[in-house]
Amino acid sequence: MEGAKNIGSELILGIDTSCDDTSAAVVAEGKKILSNIVSSQSDIHKKYGGIVPELASRRHIEMIWPVVDEALNAAAITLDDIAAIAVCHGPGLIGSLLVGCGFAKAAAYAKNKPVVAVNHLEGHIFSAFLDHENIEFPFLSLIASGGHTSLYIVNDFGQYMELGRTRDDAAGEAYDKVAKLLGLAYPGGPVIDNLALEGNPKAFDFPRAYVPESFDFSFSGLKTAVKSAVSRQSQAAGDAEFIKDIAASFQSAVVDVLVRKVEWAIVKKGIKRVTLSGGVSANSELRKRFKEMAEEREVELFLPSISFCTDNAAMIAAAGYHHFKAGNIAGIDLNPKAYLPL
């Protein structure tokens, strides 16, 4: 236990229950991970083809203490050893967020520890520092997940300029909806990514919504185009090759837009550092295309480890450490918010 404390004098316990994963982590000085425990609910929700909020919040209630306990044990510490508790208070599913915030406040009150509130999007941005400790400011940050697709300029901790966001579906949401159209399993992102490896990305000429003169994104039209293609060829809907080609063509359209938008931002803003985060950043084609673009543009690209792409408490603790250092302490009246701009 003593060895764990010596890694960093300021240990932050992070808690994330923003959606369907219950996660707790212990991080030292915003960068050194002592533990990062994630309890997935995929098996619960896959039969419905998407997340059922009520089921998610009930599962969080069951798992929050066991997950926190495991994170503390893995880090070889107790609640007495931490400097603060960082908790995600939004955006996300309000029932799920209530569980995390309620637990964090109760634990903090019992142990007389401060609580810091972390925006989920801010957590994604600072997940980059868990793998790459010395990223220089400013940098461009693309967050692509099931609930968000946003592009920011990060000038420093707490200094974020939103360049663009999705006007409708998030990229990960589009993946899940297309997977459901094709009768594939949930979550759809990894399934479509695997099928696309064997498909023809030029089999279907799906639209790319570049939204001229804007850094915004739009994926609802692409989703509708896939639905139309499936309807036109309903007799082939169960054909393996047809599904692989749909998957590859759909994925190509999503990746084209994400890469092109960031490339425009690099050129127009003159920023040569880029981070990716969010569940979609685990996509093999997206990572490959971003590496190619970064090499061509001579840009520093910081990709997260696959384990840090999806929601996790280590990223909440990483961002929470900076709030703690800045004295941004939340009160016992902290309430979560389903919608919370960064």
Contacts by residues 263-268 (CB-CB < 8 Å, ≥ 24 positions apart): 263/293, 263/297, 264/215, 265/140, 265/151, 265/153, 265/163, 265/215, 266/140, 266/297, 266/299, 267/297
**What's residue 238's pLDDT?**
64
2 burial type by CB count under 10 A (0-12 exposed, 13-18 middle, 19+ buried) = exposed
With H, G, I as helix, E, B as strand and everything else as coil, classify residue 160. strand
Q: pTM of the prediction? A: 0.92
With CA atoms as reference, report the closest residue to 189 among 200, 197, 177: 177
Torsion, Cα of 330, 334, 339, 341 (10° steps):
-10
Model pLDDT for residues 233-269, shown as the tens digit of each residue: 765 556 899 999 999 999 999 999 999 999 999 999 9
pLDDT attached to residue 237:
55
Smallest Cα–Cα separation from 326: which of 117, 133, 121? 117
| Encoded tokens for 31 | 């960068």
Q: Hey, where are the domains in the chain?
A: 2-127+312-326, 136-306
Tell whether the model's pLDDT for residue 191 goes beyond 90.
Answer: yes
Please check the confidence at residue 164 and state whether its pLDDT lies above 80.
yes
Which of 3.50.50.60, 3.40.50.1000, 3.30.420.40, 3.90.320.10 is the CATH number of 136-306? 3.30.420.40
The residue with tokens 């054909």 is: 239
145 pLDDT band (50/70/90 cuts)? Answer: very high
103/98 Cα distance (integer angstroms)? 8
Model pLDDT for residues 59-97, shown as the tens digit of each residue: 999 999 999 999 999 999 999 999 999 999 999 999 999
- The DSSP symbol for 75 reads T
Q: At what angle do helices 171-181 and 188-196 cross, to 10 degrees?
A: 70
Residue percentage of the chain with pLDDT more than 70:
96
pLDDT band, residue 47 (cuts 50/70/90): confident
Return the higher-pLDDT residue of 154 and 49. 154
Pairing of strands 273-277, 139-144: parallel
Residue 5's alpha-carbon distances to 15, 76, 85, 304, in angstroms, are 19, 9, 16, 26
| pLDDT recorded at residue 49 | 83
Cα–chain center distance at 286: 15
Enumerate the β-bridge partners of residue 301: 274
pLDDT surpassing 90 at residue 133 = no
Task: Tell whether the model's pLDDT for residue 282 goes beyond 90.
Answer: yes
> Is the domain defined by 2-127+312-326 classed in CATH 3.30.930.10?
no
CA distance 36 to 130: 11
Q: Is the Cβ–Cβ distance between 54 and 65 less than 8 Å?
A: no
How far apart (Å, rounded) are the C-alpha atoms in residues 109 and 327?
18
Confidence category of residue 9, pLDDT binned at 50, 70, 90: low
Q: 319 near 123, Cβ under 8 Å?
A: yes
Q: How many CB atoms lie within 10 A of CB 121?
A: 27
Burial of residue 182, with CB atoms counted within 10 A of its CB: 0-12 exposed, 13-18 middle, 19 or more buried: buried
User: In sequence order, what are the residues at sequence separation of 6 or more whose Cβ sits closer than 8 angstroms to the Cβ of residue 218?
Assistant: 166, 167, 168, 169, 209, 211
- Average pLDDT of the residues in 198-210: 96
Evaluate whether 2-127+312-326 and 136-306 have a shared fold. Answer: yes
Backbone angles phi, psi at 27, to 5 degrees: -130, 135
Q: What is the DSSP letter of 236?
A: G
Give the pLDDT of residue 235. 57
